[in-house]
Amino acid sequence: MSLDNKKIIPNDWYLEAEKWRKKMSELKRCPCGEIPDQLSVAFNGQGAKWATASGDCCGFWEVEFRTEYESIESDKCNQFAQQAWNDAKRHESLL
């Protein structure tokens, strides 16, 4: 079977990632010096109450935030992640 005559259609995960890449365009600078394009959100092992968010720039610095028991993939949870990222204290040189 040849793939020459088949169209490549992005899957749902890819489309969701692109949607969030656009929504997270107002992220503050990471301590590594870069401004991340998006955040990776993951539960931190304490159940569904807390999660962590890290930038796609270095993956080293992360912030912890409350999910309010929202689904990790939900718009609301991503808003909590972005708010926690932007509200985190940074050194003056990064502002």
In a domain, 32, yes or no: no
Evaluate if residue 76 carries a pLDDT over 50.
Answer: yes
In a domain, 8, yes or no: no
Domain count, the chain: 1
Q: What is the pLDDT of residue 4?
A: 55
Evaluate if residue 88 carries a pLDDT over 90.
Answer: yes
What's the whole-number mean pLDDT along residues 51-65?
91
Q: Which pTM value belongs to this model?
A: 0.69
Evaluate if residue 6 carries a pLDDT over 60.
Answer: no
Evaluate if residue 80 carries a pLDDT over 60.
Answer: yes
Q: What does residue 6 show for φ and ψ, rounded to 5 degrees? A: -105, 140
Which residue range forms the structural domain that includes residue 63? 37-90
